[in-house]
A = this chain, B = another copy of it.
Amino acid sequence: MNSVKVFSPASIGNIGPGFDVLGLAIDGLGDTVEAREISGNEVVIENIFNADHDISNNPDKNTAGIAAKETLRALDIKNGVGLTLTKGMPSGSGLGSSAASAAAGAYAVNELFNGGLSEDELILAAMKGEAYVSGGYFADNVAPSILGGATLTQSIDPLKVSKLGTIDELILVLIIPNIQILTKNSRDVIPNKIDKRHFITNMANTASITAAFCKNDYALLKDNLIDMIIEPARTKLIPWLADIKSAAVKAGADGCTISGAGPTIFAISNSHQRAKKIKYEMEKEFNNHGVECTGFITTPSNAGSREVMMD
């Protein structure tokens, strides 16, 4: 019977100051969903591989399953679908794990039935899947997981999302500490009232990052990852953040902040040699704090969700 396999990249939500507005797909990490037509009219989670925690195989409690069902509903198709989810990144790390699964679920089902949905419709279906885990509708991970590159969420209702582009020079140093932070908790710490000066700084930095990805201009990104509002609030959940950032900047990073809700930290550079040193120094600082971590060097992924070869 008919089947497709889809890969959806991991992503960095917010890109520093752009809370709920910006997101960036990254290369080398992501989730895979294989979808196949099965008899009956149910969505069945047939396999879950490589999960680092207990992921439900109930399709109504699984981000890929929910996204798949939403996609079928949008396509107005009643066929049965079997899904195999292969995780390619840790959960709760701030790299859009649930969004990547949801994106792959939606994209795979759409491909399986010949791709009738628009990118916006796929994003909406995947957002429904992610909402089950994150507790709200956000596109800052789902949009880059579907579209690739850096994305801008103008509004959620109605959905207005666009792809900004990528920065060829940009090298990302990602350090994933071996602890989990759930998006729900990390949203609770954000203050409801924001200082005017901080608002202006975050808005200026977010506009600069936006221009950087539109113009493929590293110089506009450099030094603008600074977030005066969300990161300071989330620092309570990541007490060693200041030391890691300082180690990254000392090693030559042009910026360092948390990825999405954290705890993954990323730093930026446009030099491969400096990136290696930054990675080494950040890992060393995590060790100093007694926190196990996995570091790697990657780049943005200008490709979003896409069909890949079956094994």
Q: A152-B208, A154-B224, A214-B210 are in contact. Are A194 and B199 (CB under 8 A)?
A: yes
A51 CB–B CB distance under 8 Å: no
Q: Which A residues lie at the B interface, using CB under 8 A?
A: 18-22, 152-155, 160, 162, 164, 190-196, 199-200, 202-208, 210-211, 214-215, 220, 224, 229
Q: Pick the contact of A195 from B20, B152, B192, B207 — CB < 8 Å?
A: B192
Bound-state CA distance A19–B203 (Å) is 9
Is the Cβ of B202 less than 8 Å from the Cβ of A199? Answer: yes
| CB proximity of A105 to chain B, nearest CB, Å | 26
| CB proximity of A139 to chain B, nearest CB, Å | 11
Bound-state CA distance A5–B102 (Å) is 61
- Interfacial chain B residues near A160, Cβ < 8 Å: 208
Bound-state CA distance A208–B162 (Å) is 9
Interface of A is mostly: mixed
| CB proximity of A191 to chain B, nearest CB, Å | 7
Is the Cβ of A152 less than 8 Å from the Cβ of B207? Answer: yes
Bound-state CA distance A214–B209 (Å) is 12
| CB proximity of A218 to chain B, nearest CB, Å | 13
- Interfacial chain B residues near A220, Cβ < 8 Å: 154, 162
- Interfacial chain B residues near A195, Cβ < 8 Å: 192-194
| CB proximity of A205 to chain B, nearest CB, Å | 7
- Interfacial chain B residues near A205, Cβ < 8 Å: 154
Is the Cβ of B200 less than 8 Å from the Cβ of A20? Answer: yes
Q: A193-B193, A194-B193 are in contact. Are A200 and B21 (CB under 8 A)?
A: yes
- Interfacial chain B residues near A153, Cβ < 8 Å: 204
Is the Cβ of B162 less than 8 Å from the Cβ of A203? Answer: no
Bound-state CA distance A21–B215 (Å) is 18
